[in-house]
Amino acid sequence: MSRPDKIRELLTAGLAPETIEIADESAFHAGHAGAASGGGHYRLHLVSARFEGVGKVGRHRLVYDCLSEMMQKDIHALAMTLLTPKEAAEQGN
Q: Does residue 37 have a pLDDT over 70?
A: no
Which of the four CATH numbers 3.30.365.10, 3.40.50.300, 3.90.1170.50, 3.30.300.90 does domain 3-91 have?
A: 3.30.300.90
Q: What is the pTM of this model?
A: 0.86
At residue 31, the pLDDT reads 59
Cα torsion through 11, 68, 75, 41, rounded to 10? 50
Q: What percent of the chain has pLDDT over 90?
A: 73
Q: Does residue 1 have a pLDDT over 80?
A: yes
Concatenated DSSP letters of 33-55: GGGGGT-EEEEEEEE-GGGTT--
Please say whether the beta carbons of 17 and 47 come within 8 A: yes
Reduce the DSSP state of residue 73 to 3 states and report it.
Answer: coil
Please enumerate in sequence order all residues whose Cβ is within 8 A of that of 85, keeping only pairs 6 or more positions apart, or say none.
Answer: 18, 47, 48, 49
**Which pLDDT tens digit goes with each residue over 40-71?**
889 999 999 999 999 999 999 999 999 999 99
